[in-house]
Amino acid sequence: MRLALTLAVLGLMLAFSAPAARAQPPVRVDVQINTQDPGPAVPHGFLGLSFEASALGKISRFAHHGDLVGLLRSIGPGVLRFGGITSDENAAWTDARTPLPSWASVAITGAEMREIGALAKRSDWRVLLTVGLAHYEPEAAAREVAAASRALGTHLEAVEIGNEADAYAQHGLRALPWVAEAYEEQVSAYREAIDALTPNVPIAGPDTSGSGIFKEWGEAEVLAQRPGLALLTGHHYPLGCAQRPEPTITELLSPGVHGLEVHSLGTYMQIAQASGVPFRIDESGSVSCGGLPGVSDTFAATLWATGYIAQAMSAGVAGINLEGNPTNCVGYTPVCATDARALESGALRAEPAWYALLLTRSLIGEHPLPVGVTSAQSPNLLAEPFEGPGRSIQVVLVDDEPRGSAPLDVRVDVGAGHSSARVLRLTAPSLSATGGVRLGGRQVAPDGSWSAPPGGGPRVPIRSGVITLKLAPASAALLSAGPARRH
């Protein structure tokens, strides 16, 4: 007994006397910005949300009560999309001339569409509407579009015909061979029916499941739809719900995924730039099929979304819609209601992904700049700079390494003519945290509002055109450099 007690005491003494784990020395990273070659301005309405068509009725209830209008206003004018798989398989338009079909379990009505119109006008957001194509009903779709046009007016961004139609055959919704040309023939019939009731409605498409199929389907869409085609659309999910082993936070934030996303954006933009038709990522999230708890609802997904939004802006994309579900708080949704009572009252909670929209909102209207990143090591850092009014510069910095990794000593060369700089930091307790997210040390209030700290954040040193700051692993920052004052 005495021996055991003595060993226990010795163990405690050794534990307390053992040296603490040493903090790793910072890794120097140099960020060089080319201010001589700015890209096109990030368009207004770039940021957006996407919901399933089956959720349109639920969202319509928030037009005059609840937090959604305030949440949308806090981001600025954006695009609200209704689509997803339920636009083809579950939800259908119904009115006096259009009974609800036997395959549908959710009805979309004129009253709900009018409330969506009120929501759009109160928030100053526009609506991208997807009508079903899987069940071939062009006349019903035309009546839905006519009602949407009446309810939304100039707040109707465009109409998509079908959701991920390139995947219809694998879901048993079309017989093989199912190719882009066959899809365009059916879309043509829909367009004729729509034009007969509501001429000159802007059309978007082909709303592909990803960039891999977009070259074929995007080119076919451009050839078949111009000049009536207003917008090219496609989806992006870096990880799949059916992949094995299951997706992880490490994989989501890996350099490999970042590299694939650069390639994917390039594929989308190749068709858009060649055709002169803007391209929008109208549905995106961390893991497909609603997301994966422990990945999609964490701060890691916030960092992923922050980086991907900034990458999309730099690539010249017209906008991005983060997919959401107002009734599922453990998926990839930016906002949700925690229970039935909250849903009824419109009390929506800002999830971690919402902070990615807050951080990037100030980049709207600014011009992306070419950038180079050099370091003796290979930090998992994303850096995207933008030029604003008066040659001001903002830089999005995202360090995707986990806590415990070496911090970064980041030196950003913004060039001469900048006398002051501030930093707005995006933080959370860990990559796996589902709460505790802070932007500028502040969280979104219960009513959906968020206010920046005084001056936009603490000052950081700038000397001879170089800004130096420490960036902790598992965090992001928005660095802002203002022009020098003229006396």
174 and 92 in one domain?
yes
For helices 110-123 and 68-75, the axis angle rounded to 10 degrees is 40
Is there a domain that residue 142 lies in?
A: yes
**Same domain for 355 and 372?**
no
Q: 348 and 450: one domain?
A: no
Same domain, 271 and 329: yes
Structural domain range at position 395: 27-39+366-483
**Residue-wise pLDDT tens for the chain (487 aa)?**
443 434 343 443 434 444 445 678 999 999 999 999 999 999 999 999 999 999 999 999 999 999 999 999 999 999 999 999 999 999 999 999 999 999 999 999 999 999 999 999 999 999 999 999 999 999 999 999 999 999 999 999 999 999 999 999 999 999 999 999 999 999 999 999 999 999 999 999 999 999 999 999 999 999 998 778 999 999 999 999 988 999 999 999 999 999 999 999 999 999 999 999 999 999 999 999 999 999 999 999 999 999 999 999 999 999 999 999 999 999 999 999 999 999 999 999 999 999 999 999 999 999 999 999 999 998 999 999 999 998 999 999 999 999 999 999 999 999 888 888 999 999 999 999 999 999 999 999 988 889 999 888 999 999 999 999 999 999 999 999 987 665 4
Compute the distance between CA of residue 272 and CA of residue 396 in angstroms, rounded to an integer. Answer: 25
What is the value of pTM for the model shown?
Answer: 0.93
17 within domain boundaries = no
Distance CA 481, CA 167 (A): 46
Q: How far apart are CA 268 and CA 274, in angstroms?
A: 10
Does residue 285 fall inside a structural domain? yes
Do residues 31 and 92 share a domain?
A: no
Write the CA distances from 201 to 48, 239, 276, 282, 353, integer angstroms: 21, 34, 19, 18, 32
Q: Note whether residue 333 is domain-resident.
A: yes
**Which of 363, 398, 425 finishes a domain?**
363
> Could you give the strand order of the β-sheet that contains 475-483, starting from the edge strand earlier in sequence?
367-368, 381-387, 393-399, 475-483, 418-427, 438-439
183, 165 contact by CB (below 8 A) = yes
Count of CA atoms in the C-beta half-sphere (13 A) of 280 = 31
Residue 214 · residue 170 · CB < 8 Å: no
Domain CATH number, residue 397? 2.60.40.1180
Residues 275 and 409 in one domain: no
Q: Is residue 418 part of a domain?
A: yes
Both 254 and 389 in a single domain?
A: no
Note whether residue 455 is domain-resident: yes
In a domain, 356, yes or no: yes
Same-domain check for residues 265 and 330: yes
Same domain, 35 and 51: no
Boundary residue ending a domain (317, 342, 363): 363
Into how many domains does the chain fold? 2
Tokens 């319509």 correspond to 60
In a domain, 2, yes or no: no
Integer angstrom CA distances of residue 480 from 355, 462, 469, 485: 18, 11, 12, 15
- Do 253 and 298 contact (CB within 8 A), yes or no? no
Domain ends where: 363, 386, 410? 363
State yes or no: cis peptide before 245, omega within 30 of 0.
yes
Regarding whether 333 and 235 lie in a shared domain, the answer is yes
Query: What's the 3-state SS for the chain?
Result: CHHHHHHHHHHHHHHHHCCCCCCCCCEEEEEEECCCCCCCCCCCCCEEEEEEHHHHHHHHHHHCCCCHHHHHHHHCCCEEEEECCHHHHCEEECECCECCCCCCCEEECHHHHHHHHHHHHHHCCEEEEEECCCCCCHHHHHHHHHHHHHHHHHHEEEEEECCCHHHCHHHCCCCCCCCHHHHHHHHHHHHHHHHHHCCCCCEEEEEECCHHHHHHHHHHHHHHHCCCEEEEEEEECCECCCCCCCCCHHHHCCHHHHHHHHHHHHHHHHHHHHHCCCEEEEEECCECCCCCCCCCCCHHHHHHHHHHHHHHHHHCCCEEEEECCCCCCCCCCCEECCCHHHHHHCCCEECCCHHHHHHHHHHCCCEECCEEEECCCCCCEEEEEEECHHHCEEEEEEECCCCCCCCEEEEEECCCCEEEEEEEEEECCCCCCCCCCEECCECCCCCCCCCCCHHHCCECCEECCEEEEEECCCEEEEEEEEECCCC
Task: Indicate the burial class of 40 (C-beta count within 10 angstroms; 0-12, 13-18, 19 or more).
Answer: exposed
Check whether residue 374 and residue 354 sit in a common domain.
no
Same domain, 283 and 400: no
Task: Report in angstroms the alpha-carbon separations of 78 from 12, 97, 141, 258, 384.
Answer: 58, 33, 25, 25, 21
Q: What CATH number does residue 340 fall under?
A: 3.20.20.80
